[in-house]
Amino acid sequence: MRQPDKTNHQPVIIAGMHRSGTSLTAAILEKAGVNVGNELLEANTGNPQGYFEDKDFLSLHQEILISQGLSAEGWTTLGRVDVPQQFWAQAMALCDRRTHQLGLWGWKEPRTTLFLEFWAGLLPDAQFIFPYRVPWEVIDSLFVRGDPAFHRHPNFAAEVWIAYNQAVLDFCQRHPSQTFLFNCDVLKTDENQFVNGIAEKLELSLSAPTETLFQADVMHAQVSDTHRPALLASHCPQALEVYQALEAQAELPSQSPPLDIAALTAAADHPDWVLQDWFTASRAQGIAAKMAPMQVELQKIHAELHKTQIELQQTQAQLMEAQAQADHWQTITQAMEANRLWQLRNAWVGLKGALGLRKE
């Protein structure tokens, strides 16, 4: 890895569509030497390995979105959101705090994609890194996670994917020397190639990864083997067109064969798939119906368990009260035995007993 020509104190900003490998990208770059923040968003079921997401930048972006009447989650078809002047000082203060840290610093936050020009103007030396992912895998990941924004309007997920990735494309075309665009599939096979590519193009001093962070069970791609890509190609061709544009412009495109949109579109009419969704939904309803009695029984068991726990707590409370009373009487007894009058009384009783024995 060659030595960088630029300063080793530049901001490194990781953005891109949600569920597109931004967290894994941030995790790898942190290991490579980029300080992505001290207060990071905690891991949860949606991302068990951690988000590597700076809470301060996340909070700032959410405040800006809410001020514009938009979703705090960033679910919008706007490719660019203007930042009101009231947030400029807050953004500059946040950057000033991070700039005083030694070495490379930056942050990962998908909503950053909506504010790219703002951050490029505020941090003219910043370098931007954008992972992207095939739309059907992103959409499937959003559906599996259960984001409420897509419950009633599933097509909205595709529209958001298009807006985010079109914004990335436009920004990369305007700032080619400050951006690194890559297909997140690269992270599944060669993390070194990814880090080396960034170091060379953006002239950053990065360390080669010493361990593989990718986990297959986290970034699954099972949906790629279904009819979903064909349906998307048939009913939302713009998503496939944007994906092809990303592939054409990326420093590290997918290593898989190029998409054949015509073939995918034609495949959407395959007779074996016509009733697939109907079958899948009905089968799910059938399974749910069979599980309903089990769920009722489970609720009864939980209720009994709760009742038993309450009774156990009551018994423990009674035992503690009895123990407290026993300790109280033991304390009184010890005090009485230690009292001199009590000792004299016991001695007198003993003497009377002894005299009585002699008399007999």
All structural domains of the chain with their residue ranges = 11-274, 288-346
Helix locations, 250-275, DSSP H = 261-267
pTM of the model: 0.74
pLDDT at 63: 97
Angle between helical axes of 237-249 and 155-174 (0-180°, round to 10): 30
Q: Is pLDDT at 6 greater than 60 in this prediction?
A: no
Q: What is the pLDDT of residues 314-331, one digit of tens each?
A: 988 898 888 888 888 888
Q: How many CB atoms lie within 10 A of CB 294?
A: 9
Backbone angles phi, psi at 284, to 5 degrees: -65, -40
More confident residue, 286 or 127: 127
CB of 105 closer than 8 Å to CB of 26? no
According to CATH, the topology of domain 11-274 is: Rossmann fold (3.40.50)
CA nearest 170: which of 120, 122, 106, 105? 120
Q: Is pLDDT at 5 greater than 70 in this prediction?
A: no
Q: What is the pLDDT of residues 189-215, one digit of tens each?
A: 888 889 999 999 999 999 877 777 666
CB of 114 closer than 8 Å to CB of 59? no
Instruction: Please state, in angstroms and rounded to a whole number, the distance separating the CA atoms of residues 84 and 182.
Output: 31
